[in-house]
Chain A
Amino acid sequence: MSTMALPTYSLWSRDLKHFLRQRSRVVGAVGQPFVIWIFLAAGFRGSFSASGMDYGAWLFPGIILLIALFAAIFSTISIIEDRKSGFLQGVITSPATRASIIWSKMLSGTTIAIAQSLLFMILLPFTGIGLTAEGFALSFLMLTAASMMLTLLGFILAWNMSSTQGFHAIMNLLLIPMWLLSGAFFPTEGASGWMQTVMMLNPMYYITALFQQLFFLGSTITFPAGPAPWISVTVLAAVSILLYLYSLRIVRTS
């Protein structure tokens, strides 16, 4: 216990202190989703048509998933910085289990994602979405699980990277397209056939579909039927377990 729980708490709380003490990071993390949502919602308002919804409302849950993605990216990028600064060597030579490094990153990425998402919810009244308590609870439960999965993905990418520039390149090549092709940015049913196939190979597609359905649960807005919820949950669980096992392998063998 003392080699897992306390070290995990130590590294998690340190990550949060780091986040809060870097003023530019806080401003960027809070401001970025606001700016992206406002510009996209205003820009596509006249040209978007799906389920009879306003684009701003339609995009809203997708932006929350984007927040989770960015939180995962920025909480795991610190692994590269910690290795460079020498901090990570102190962790590795301590009795703390290597799993505590993974768990602390998962928890810090998720904590930051949830906090930012709650802050972003300030904009909810401007969307016309009537969020129910049930929808809020279930969608944020889903967001927690999705954040953990995304942080694991970021962890694996960052663990083997030697530069933050390289991580940014991979982020632009892999993580952002994962979000763009998740159905968060444009509806799947309007995409061309090959694009729909690509989207269905993307685990984020299943997470986004379920998250959107849960987010609007009980409201007057109904989303077009996506994959069955049990398929989305299975994909999320399976991908998370695989990523966790692979993370354990790389931290134990490197």
Chain B
Amino acid sequence: MLLVQNIAHTYAARRGAGTRALRGVSLTAAQGDVTAVVGPNGSGKTTLFRLLTGVLALQQGSITMHNASPRNARIGVVFQSPSLDPHLTSFENIRHHAMLYGLRLGRDDISAALLDRLGIADALDTRVSALSGGFQRRVELAKALLTKPELLVLDEPFTGLDVDARESFFSLLREVTVEHRLVTLLITHVLPLATRCDRVAVLEQGTLIADDAPARLLEDFGPTVVEITTPDPATLAAHLRAHGDRDLLHLREQTLLLRNTGLRDVASILDADHPLVQDIQARRPTLEDFFIARTGHAIARAEEELLAA
């Protein structure tokens, strides 16, 4: 079990008080679980990552792994930008990395089952520069797993991957987390995948605003929500409220969200050809909905990523 208790971090400034990146954050992550850490840019995710991996020294609070300092535990790290040496083969990258952890790895020491699971068995002798982004991510994961970590920390591992590669990498991550009884912390902007994690910690301006199972975070929204695109949200909201006590959320500039309802219920109030309705759809609630409900704004980059995807 990873236990983060009341950690805070302030980046010193040459003049002035500095920037407070984390303010008293506490969270837990269990063995065999993938715990997602989400939040917009500047929310403190990267600082949390740096504290967990020992790049930054703790200024306040404590981090323990199985009741001991994480320095005593093996930590596998997958970075946002690749940390592979493009001039070396996949196997050489893995071997050199293992040596940094005090391990001498021969080819026979690498489990064939793990290589098959990661799908890189045939790429061991290929130079990394010749591999696709998806394969490079798999080699990164192999590199992190072969040092037999107890804690696996991934910082935006889906960056640069297409939708299929993301999906495949995420499935792989879940499988190895369960199989190796890892404590996996996934720092990500990709909210649809975070929603499928065992637990989600939501950061906003250095503060933890939620830490729970995704289903628990979204239970206030009901099984379905209705999203309406309109040129005049204020007038439409007033129209809807006139027909009952609606659980309304101003989602984006021209979008309203109705919680705990279905399309049939809304259709009884709004005609499909209502002049204020440009588009209407029922869908499952998302972490983005949760974040907007809590903070009043979106996780902007995640939106961009989803649109790009």
Contacts and interface: CB of A to CB of B under 8 A. Distances in A.
A6 B99 contact: yes
A39 B274 CA distance: 86
B82 interface: yes
A18 B87 contact: yes
A6 B83 contact: no
B99 A93 contact: no
B88 A93 contact: no
B83 A87 contact: yes
Main secondary structure of the interface of A (DSSP, over half): helix
Interface in A1-26: 2-3, 6-7, 9-11, 13-14, 17-18, 21-22
Given A86-B83, A87-B84, A93 B96 contact: no
A90 B97 contact: yes
B81 A86 contact: yes
Given A18-B87, A87-B85, A93-B53, A10 B99 contact: yes
A2 B99 CA distance: 8
Nearest to A92: B55
B83 A90 contact: yes
B87 A91 contact: no
Interface residues of A, number: 24
Contact of A17 (B55, B82, B92): B92
A219 interface: no
B289 to A, nearest CB: 34
B131 to A, nearest CB: 14
Nearest to A8: B99
Interface magnitude class on chain B: 20 to 34
Contacts of A91: 100
A96 B99 CA distance: 9
Most buried by B among A3, A87, A90: A90
A29 to B, nearest CB: 16
Given A86-B82, A92-B55, 20 more contacts: A6-B99, A6-B103, A6-B104, A7-B102, A9-B99, A11-B96, A11-B100, A17-B88, A22-B87, A85-B83, A85-B86, A87-B83, A89-B83, A90-B77, A90-B79, A90-B97, A93-B54, A95-B71, A96-B100, A96-B101
Interface of B: 53-55, 71, 75, 77, 79, 81-88, 92, 96-97, 99-104, 143
Q: Which 6 A-B pairs have the closest CB atoms?
A: A2-B102, A10-B99, A90-B83, A94-B100, A86-B81, A93-B53
